[in-house]
């Protein structure tokens, strides 16, 4: 991802052969290099490309606008190599599969891309409506802030921006697919880094989330987070928590929404979500009336509706709160807690567990309980 003040600086950075994942600086340009976790949506399940020597595939983005330039470098193709085989070997097509997932507005040349980067570094501003901001580091010469924007596909500029941005979900979210942008119930939340330095403001994309609004009887909506991604250079800095917390706060603050759920969350997302939900619930004394593991279903429903979390998530948070209250695993309270959690595990996996013999069933439930408790303790240690 590139930003820059001069075209020559951007070109110099692009031509660099250092291949370092750290920030590389040419004169008048900054570049952050990172690599995809997945390429099977583009190049097949084995993630291999046949027929090239010294192959380098570069997908270049302007840091803010995501203006794109795609180029391929190699020293030889198999058609240029000597072979004793009677069968004519042909190199795989690299260009077509990649361009099928990119927006139509890909820059045709390196020079065109460099010009676009320099222009966008000066004038690009995020589309949509700014809904939140929070502070980053600052010094005498520069100040960083982070801004969250809300947008929908009814806005032409936001729709075009999403076309350039959506390729990231294939590279970093396992099993992800492009969403249907003709459906007006989608909302997109983007996070940008805003750098103010020497009287100039520039933006870089940090991450984004897509949220779908389902109908909830009789007259409300249910928000579901579908895709959620913080780009690798910005991970581990609290931006995922900031974005998730904003979305939850938005749902809490609107009478139109019944609750917030998440579609097929990863383990990393579950951890981040658990930490933020527990911090929020503890701050608001949500567990003040829970004194033991005999928590009635009506109490779970009351907390779920008040704090607008899914029933599954509210139950997990209650279990973590119960574990937090227990002083010893040898206590009666822990025994009651164990029974409470095991009943929930059994109910959620009834079809699978009933197919097992009684001894194996008990073992599987015990193993699941131990794994759940380990996970809860890890989350609680980070609060």
Q: Which residues are tagged catalytic?
A: 263
Cα 342 to Cα 57, 106, 128, 371, 375, distances in angstroms: 50, 54, 46, 12, 15
Name the token pair of 128: 């949509």
Q: Tell me how long the chain is.
A: 383
Contact 205, 165 (CB under 8 A): yes
Query: What distance in Å separates the CA atoms of residue 54 and residue 128, rounded to the nearest whole number?
Result: 42
- By 3-state DSSP, what share of the chain in percent is helix, strand and coil, each rounded to 5? 40, 25, 35
Q: What pairs with residue 187 in β-bridges?
A: 211
What does the angle CA 377 – CA 379 – CA 382 come to, to the nearest 5 degrees? 110
The SS3 call for residue 18 is coil
CA nearest neighbour of 64 among 4, 137, 14, 20: 4
Parallel, antiparallel, or unpaired: how do β-strands 220-230 and 186-197 relate?
A: unpaired
Handedness of CA 337, 338, 340, 345 (dihedral sign): positive
Q: Where are the alpha helices (DSSP H) in the chain?
A: 7-15, 40-43, 95-99, 110-123, 156-165, 167-172, 239-252, 267-283, 297-307, 311-325, 332-348, 350-354, 358-381
Query: What distance in Å separates the CA atoms of residue 378 and residue 145, rounded to the nearest whole number?
Result: 30
Contact 29, 10 (CB under 8 A): yes
Query: What distance in Å separates the CA atoms of residue 365 and residue 356, rounded to the nearest whole number?
Result: 11
């Amino acid at each position: 991802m590139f930003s820059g003040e001069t075209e020559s600086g951007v070109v110099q950075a692009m031509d660099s052969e250092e291949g370092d994942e750290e920030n590389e600086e040419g004169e008048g340009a900054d570049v952050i290099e990172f690599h995809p976790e997945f390429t099977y949506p583009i190049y097949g399940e084995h993630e291999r490309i046949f027929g090239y020597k010294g192959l380098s595939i570069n997908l270049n983005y302007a840091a803010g606008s995501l203006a794109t330039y795609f180029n391929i470098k190699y020293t030889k193709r198999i058609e240029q190599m000597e072979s004793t085989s009677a069968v004519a070997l042909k190199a795989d097509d690299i260009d077509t599969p990649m361009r099928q997932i990119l927006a139509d507005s890909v820059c045709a040349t390196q020079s065109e891309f460099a010009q676009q980067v320099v222009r966008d570094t000066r004038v690009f501003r995020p589309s949509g409506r700014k809904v939140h901001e929070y502070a980053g580091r600052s010094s005498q010469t520069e100040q960083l802030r982070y801004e969250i924007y809300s947008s929908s596909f009814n806005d032409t500029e936001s729709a075009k921006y999403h076309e350039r941005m959506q390729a990231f979900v294939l590279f970093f979210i396992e099993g992800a697919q492009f969403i249907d942008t003709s459906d007006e119930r989608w909302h997109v939340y983007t996070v940008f880094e805003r750098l103010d330095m020497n009287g100039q403001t520039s933006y870089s994309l940090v991450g984004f989330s897509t949220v779908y609004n389902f109908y909830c009887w009789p007259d409300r909506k249910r928000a579901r987070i579908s895709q959620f991604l913080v780009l690798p250079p910005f991970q581990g800095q609290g931006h995922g928590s900031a974005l998730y917390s904003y979305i939850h706060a938005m749902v809490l603050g609107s009478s139109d929404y019944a609750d917030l759920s998440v579609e097929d969350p990863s383990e990393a997302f579950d951890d981040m979500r658990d930490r933020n939900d527990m911090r929020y619930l503890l701050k608001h004394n949500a567990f003040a009336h829970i004194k033991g593991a005999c928590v009635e279903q009506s109490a779970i429903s009351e907390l779920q509706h008040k704090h607008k979390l899914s029933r599954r998530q509210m139950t997990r948070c209650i279990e973590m709160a119960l574990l937090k209250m227990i002083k010893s695993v040898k206590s009666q309270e822990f025994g009651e807690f164990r029974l409470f959690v095991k009943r929930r595990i059994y109910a959620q996996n009834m079809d699978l567990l009933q197919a097992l013999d009684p001894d194996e069933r008990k073992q599987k439930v015990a193993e699941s309980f131990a794994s759940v408790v380990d996970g809860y303790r890890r989350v609680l240690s980070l609060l």
